[in-house]
Amino acid sequence: MKAVVRTNFDDSVSAYDAYEQRTGRFTALARLLAAEMATRADGPFASVLDAGAGTGVSTRVFADRAQRTVALDISREMLRELEAAPRVEADFDHLPFADGSFDGVAFTASLFLVPDPAVAAREAARVLRTGGVVGAVAPLGWVDVDGTDIFAALDRESRSPAGADEVEAALADSFAVTAGTWRFATTAADVRRFHAIPAMAARLYPNLAAEERVAKARDLLEGLEGTVEQRWRWIVGVAE
Ligand SMILES: C[S@@+](CC[C@H](N)C(=O)[O-])C[C@H]1O[C@@H](n2cnc3c(N)ncnc32)[C@H](O)[C@@H]1O
């Protein structure tokens, strides 16, 4: 599963950056998450591990707040895009850092990509100092103006390896957590752009090769029109 996720993101660099340039969605998520984390940290928020840093969208946001931000990702190709911060190619489940190394560990749109987020949550707890904070955002999907999942109407499910509920439960096992939901008004065209990213189209067609799955997602979403709401769950926990 992890090798598949790594390959999916290795194949996604240019489409990911194109989506971000068009929408700024991941920057917005990282900014909101950083603000929640900084508010809840018990003590300084000066060193942050950006876990699942990708091409560095979230890393740049956290680097604006913290003196030391380390970017970690399993995908070499995503990480290659990032020039400024220290970069570490590694898996959430085996963080190559000593106990208590960070004031914050941020999973901006990344923790739902592992099949068992509890392992990564325990690793985050280990590398955080007491009073340090973990933060995660996980997708709740896309709904139309009536609040109906847009994929239900298309007779298709959009799934990630772990759901937002699993991410929240995993973090709640290791931290004292607070959670909420962020809602973004967006357009059908941006839903299509999102699924032009091979790693995101894998939510719909996990068993197809990258080009084929993006083409199938494009066909599926062709007729979608109007305004769509994208929902993300956020969870912030304090290390005890
Ligand atoms: C949707 S991207 C988010 C990137 C970045 N945080 C942002 O806001 O743009 C998710 C990232 O998590 C990484 N990832 C997924 N599973 C991982 C794992 N087990 N260990 C480390 N990184 C992982 C992926 O390679 C990908 O770059």
What residue segments make up the domains of the chain, in order of their start? 2-144+158-186+227-238
pLDDT band for position 145 (cuts 50, 70, 90): confident
Tell me, in angstroms, the distance from the centre of ligand 1 to residue 146's CA.
Answer: 31
CATH assignment of 2-144+158-186+227-238?
3.40.50.150
Using an 8 Å Cβ cutoff, are 2 and 91 in contact? yes
- Average pLDDT, integer, range 134-153: 94
pLDDT at 84 over 90: no
Centre a 10 Å sphere on the Cβ of residue 153 and count the other Cβ atoms it contains.
11
pTM above 0.85, yes or no: yes
Which of 4, 73, 80, 193 has the most ligand 1 atoms within 8 A of CB, as the residue to mutate? 73
Nearest CA to ligand 1 atom 25: 75
110 lines ligand 1 (CB under 6 A): yes
Q: Which atom of ligand 1 is nearest to the CA of 30?
A: 8
pLDDT at 85 over 90: no
Nearest CA to ligand 1 atom 4: 54
The partner residues of 139 in beta bridges, in order of sequence, read: 232
CA–CA separation, 194 and 88 (whole Å):
26
pLDDT band for position 222 (cuts 50, 70, 90): very high
The pLDDT value recorded for residue 208 is 96
The pLDDT value recorded for residue 1 is 78
194 lines ligand 1 (CB under 6 A): no
- Average pLDDT, integer, range 60-88: 95
Q: Hey, which bits of 41-127 come out as E strands?
A: 47-51, 68-73, 87-89, 102-108
The pLDDT value recorded for residue 206 is 94
The partner residues of 143 in beta bridges, in order of sequence, read: 149, 229
The pLDDT value recorded for residue 128 is 98
